[in-house]
Amino acid sequence: MKRLRGTLVLLLVLAAVLTPLALVATGALPYSAYVVRSGSMAPAISPASVVIVEADRYEVGQVITFQRHGDRTTHRLVAVNDDASLTTKGDANDTVDPFTVPRSDVIGGVTAFVPNLGYLVVYLQNPLALGSVIMCVLSLWYVGSSEEKPEAKRIKGSKEQPAVAAVQVA
């Protein structure tokens, strides 16, 4: 019974954690998650934070994520130019970015961020790391749900001691 209860708890925890991740990863929700890899947005968003980006929703003053030369950049939107391009700036930078961003390159506006979660995300992108985490969880589950040893099972409240047999060898 204890093993069944442990299995059910493990499955519920996995479902609670993996369901939102799967919804974001598959694009079923209008959100994406990205790791901030530089300090250009400090102190507002520190390096190794994970930003949650809502697709195609942003306004001046909001932090946005956009594509540039195959990389994703997260900076604050400071102006919309007459030609509909966008001017951005990292909060830690002294000047605006030396380029403008076409609207078609904007992924969306940052709606939330989780500091330092990027370390775990980058770690889990390695298949060996993911396997090690799965093995640790399964090992802890197995140890935590293993049956008690037979000699440890006693009727609660019983003061009986286990019988000891003595054998005399001649």
DSSP 67-134: EETTEEEEEEEEEE-TTS-EEEE-TTSSS--SSEE-GGGEEEEEEEEETTHHHHHHHHTSHHHHHHHH
pLDDT averaged per 10 residues, the chain (length 170)? 74 78 71 92 95 93 96 97 97 97 97 92 83 86 67 57 63
Residue 167 has a pLDDT of: 63
Residue 46 has a pLDDT of: 96
pTM score, whole prediction:
0.67
Look at residue 31 and give its three-state secondary structure.
strand
